[in-house]
Amino acid sequence: MAVPLSTAPFASSVCADAARFARVAGCLARRCDADVLLPGGSGPAWSAGWAAFAPTDELEVTAATTPDDLKHFAFDKPGLVLGFLGYGFGLHLRGVRSVGSTRERLGHLRRYAASVRFDPVAGRLEWSADEPALAAEVQRALAQADQRTGPLGPLLQGPTGPVTASLGREAYEAAVAETLAHIRAGDVYQLNLSTLLRMPVPAVDPAALFQHLTRQRPAGFQALYRPPGMAVVSSSPERFLQVRDGRVLTQPIKGTLAFERFAAGLVERLRDSPKEDAELSMIVDLLRNDLSPHCTYGSVKVERHKAWFRVGHLLHLYSDVVGELRPDRDALDLLLDALPGGSVTGCPKSTALELIDALEPHDRGVYCGTVLALRGPRELDSSVAIRTAVWHEDRRELSYGAGSGIVVDSDPAREYLETMAKARPFLQWAKR
């Protein structure tokens, strides 16, 4: 059932396709610093697109922020909330370590005075604004979206420095070897090991970076989010959790094949690999577990196993795990207890989180957390924040994490190459 977008005095709706919404969102991102969720790609995608601007309320998430604080912010008033919760906030919720040790932002949420919603199924764009000036901005964006846009300006500004990795090839492969020893000892079955790439960049144009990334690699869960002092530019292919009318859906991705030239046989090669099959199956069982505390008994099911899609130069396997949200629970109960998502931790999760904390020299920050859209207690969509660039104004630095799921038959050299394949867009920016 459609929930009214808002009680805003200025609202309207028009027909639009995905390409037009992308142009409208691009205009609003450039002119009004809008935060944007853009559905795209060939696999799972945001169930609705959003471009929202003129923030009215903000919540800076800290170690002192409780689940109740988040619920008050998100649910006390109707309307859209966008934002992110970092991997570190998930660690904090799981009690893995004191968050005092991280300098990374734990999360940030916002409400807005103006927003545009794109419904890909109905092919409609609905917008609302609290003030005439904001309504005029939306109308200007709608008009400009029909004009041809020029080429993108520079994405990164000023002299940039070389890319450094928290775990270079040798260190990454050594950490994979150490992970394999833990797997053989029975501490974990699977562990997602990442490296964090960093590049000194004096300034960025977040809207241009977002447009470049989404043109280059149109993933299902593209997002641009700009809290003060930061820009999150995400091209994630992976859904974390969706709640719609009480129905819960998660779509974990595991099993990856990098290729230079697509060929039909590649899909069979990926689907028939016992290693990739096991990697996905473990995470499916883990996600079933993570849905179960807040879903009705008997409702948690695997509806599609080993579906596939292609994004850029990568093929991925994923599954649909569904459930019915218990009537006495809300979307944040589910999300906060499942954070960080199982596909970026490993299994069993609590041991995997501790081992990752010991093996990785970096804080994951936004990377491997979640970008989310909430509208009331039982309407949520969220991505796993992978393939995500983060610009830190204070450090004048752009970072990008890339990881790989390590299982007992993983080859360290191959896993390192997989992380580099995932970091390809970032490495290409560095060369521009």
Partner 1 sequence: MRVLLLDNRDSFTRNLEHLLVAAAGADVTISAHPQAADVAAQRWDLVVISPGPGRPCDHPGYGPWIDGGTPLLGVCLGMQILNEHFGGTTEPLPGCVHGRAEPVEFLGRTLRVARYHSLHAATVGSGLEVLARTRSGIVMALRHTERPLLGFQFHPESFLTEDGGSLVHSALCLLGLR
Any idea which residues carry the catalytic annotation?
238, 254
- Give me the half-sphere count of Cα atoms (radius 13 Å) on the Cβ side of residue 304: 13
Count of Cβ atoms closer than 10 Å to residue 273 Cβ:
15
| Cα distance between residue 280 and residue 342, in whole Å | 11
45 touches partner 1 by CB under 8 A: no
> Considering the complex, what minimum distance in angstroms separates the CB of residue 69 from partner 1?
25
Of 48-56, 150-158, 298-306, 382-390, which segment contacts partner 1 by CB under 8 A? 298-306
Nearer to partner 1, 350 or 428 (CB): 350
Among 27, 284, 386, 389, binds partner 1 (CB under 8 A): 284
Q: Is the peptide bond prior to 340 cis by the omega test (within 30 degrees of 0)?
A: yes
Q: Scanning residues 59 to 98, which ones bind partner 1 (CB under 8 A)?
A: none
184 touches partner 1 by CB under 8 A: yes
| Cα distance between residue 104 and residue 362, in whole Å | 10
SS3 at position 426: helix
| Cα distance between residue 132 and residue 20, in whole Å | 23
The count of residues interacting with partner 1 (CB under 8 A) is 36
329 touches partner 1 by CB under 8 A: no
Look up residue 293 and give its DSSP letter: G
Q: Where are the beta strands (DSSP E) in 271-411?
A: 301-311, 314-324, 346-347, 370-374, 380-384, 388-392, 397-406
241 touches partner 1 by CB under 8 A: no
Please name the amino acid found at residue 282. Answer: M
188 touches partner 1 by CB under 8 A: yes
Among 165, 167, 300, 331, binds partner 1 (CB under 8 A): 300
335 touches partner 1 by CB under 8 A: no
> Considering the complex, what minimum distance in angstroms separates the CB of residue 215 from partner 1?
37
Cα dist. 244→7, 18, 375 in Å?
Answer: 21, 21, 10
| Cα distance between residue 325 and residue 337, in whole Å | 13
> Considering the complex, what minimum distance in angstroms separates the CB of residue 243 from partner 1?
18
Look up residue 339 and give its DSSP letter: P
347 touches partner 1 by CB under 8 A: yes
| Cα distance between residue 231 and residue 390, in whole Å | 6
> Considering the complex, what minimum distance in angstroms separates the CB of residue 254 from partner 1?
10
Bridge partners, 402 (sequence order): 195
Q: Scanning residues 243 to 282, which ones bind partner 1 (CB under 8 A)?
A: 274, 277-282
Are the beta carbons of 402 and 362 closer than 8 angstroms?
no
193 touches partner 1 by CB under 8 A: no
181 touches partner 1 by CB under 8 A: no
| Cα distance between residue 423 and residue 40, in whole Å | 19
| Cα distance between residue 382 and residue 336, in whole Å | 12
178 touches partner 1 by CB under 8 A: no
Q: Scanning residues 102 to 141, which ones bind partner 1 (CB under 8 A)?
A: none
Mask for 399-428, x = binds partner 1 (CB under 8 A): --------xx--------------------
- Which residues are near partner 1 by CB under 8 A? 183-190, 274, 277-282, 284-286, 288-290, 292-293, 297-298, 300, 302, 305, 342, 347-351, 407-408
